[in-house]
């Protein structure tokens, strides 16, 4: 009985290992893992104004950042004028999260107060120039420059006094006191010699 069972097993194994020809191809398709398409989303475009510096905080999502190497281009626009382009290389890593942040500081000296439009465009290009994925976002900044001098308490300074008055300033008072002391000492020293 055992020999018959072993023969049946061997026959079954031989039937399974039968080589396929073009006429007898297997009907099952090979299983593939579903791949996520790459995508970018600008999650947040925030700003803070510190005196004459505008600090931008660009938060974006890159999916899937853990599995693929990414070369992103970030273009920054100010009132629809292109300011700068930045190339951002993100290597694949299991330690990265899908949420990333890119901070930029703008020097706003000489920019007139008012509302200004700041736009961020992010995209990834193939070597052929074809854009794989892109995202953009803009924010309206209500800019009013603040200077250090604006924060001080202002007290007027007296420049000139008209009339026959003599005003002694605190810096001059000490000098006059020294002159008076010297004059008294001279008078006292002359009295001793009479």
Q: Mind spelling out the 3-state secondary structure of 124-185? A: EECCCCCEEEEEEEEEEEEECCCCHHHHCCCCCCCCCCCCCCCCCCHHHHHHHHHHHHHHHH
35-46 b/e (C-beta count within 10 Å ≥ 16 → b): eeeeebebeebe
- 119 pLDDT band (50/70/90 cuts)? very high
Q: Give the model's pLDDT for residue 60.
A: 86
Within 10 angstroms of residue 62's Cβ, the number of other Cβ atoms is 24
Q: What percentage of residues in the chain have a pLDDT greater than 90?
A: 10
Reduced to 3 states (helix: H, G, I; strand: E, B; else coil), residue 14 is helix
Query: Domains in the chain and their CATH numbers?
Result: 39-146 (2.60.40.10)
Distance CA 96, CA 50 (A): 31
The answer to whether 51 and 146 are in contact (CB under 8 A) is yes
Range among 26-35, 84-93, 115-124 rated most confident: 115-124
Task: Give the model confidence (pLDDT) of 41-73 as tens digits.
Answer: 888 889 988 878 888 898 888 777 666 777 888
Task: Give the model confidence (pLDDT) of 15-49 as tens digits.
Answer: 555 566 666 666 666 555 455 577 888 888 899 88
Give the chain's mean pLDDT: 77
The answer to whether 38 and 64 are in contact (CB under 8 A) is yes
Q: Give the model's pLDDT for residue 99.
A: 83
Model pTM?
0.56
């Amino acid at each position: 009985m055992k020999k018959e069972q072993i023969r049946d097993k061997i026959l079954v194994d031989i039937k399974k290992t039968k080589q396929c020809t073009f006429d007898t191809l297997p009907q099952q398709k090979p299983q593939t893992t579903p791949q996520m398409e790459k995508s970018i989303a600008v999650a947040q475009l925030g700003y803070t104004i510190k005196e004459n510096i505008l600090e931008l905080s660009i938060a974006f999502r890159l999916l899937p950042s853990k599995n693929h190497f990414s070369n992103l281009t970030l273009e920054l626009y100010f009132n629809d004028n292109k300011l700068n382009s930045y190339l951002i290389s993100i290597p694949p890593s299991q330690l990265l999260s899908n949420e990333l942040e890119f901070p930029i500081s703008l020097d706003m000296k000489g920019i007139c107060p008012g509302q200004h439009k700041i736009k961020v465009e992010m995209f990834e290009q193939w070597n052929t120039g074809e854009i794989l994925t892109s995202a953009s976002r803009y924010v309206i900044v209500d800019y009013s420059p603040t200077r250090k001098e604006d924060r001080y308490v202002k007290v007027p300074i007296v420049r000139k006094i008209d009339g026959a008055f003599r005003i002694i300033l605190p810096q001059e008072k000490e000098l006059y006191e020294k002159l008076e002391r010297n004059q008294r000492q001279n008078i006292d020293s002359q009295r001793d010699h009479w």
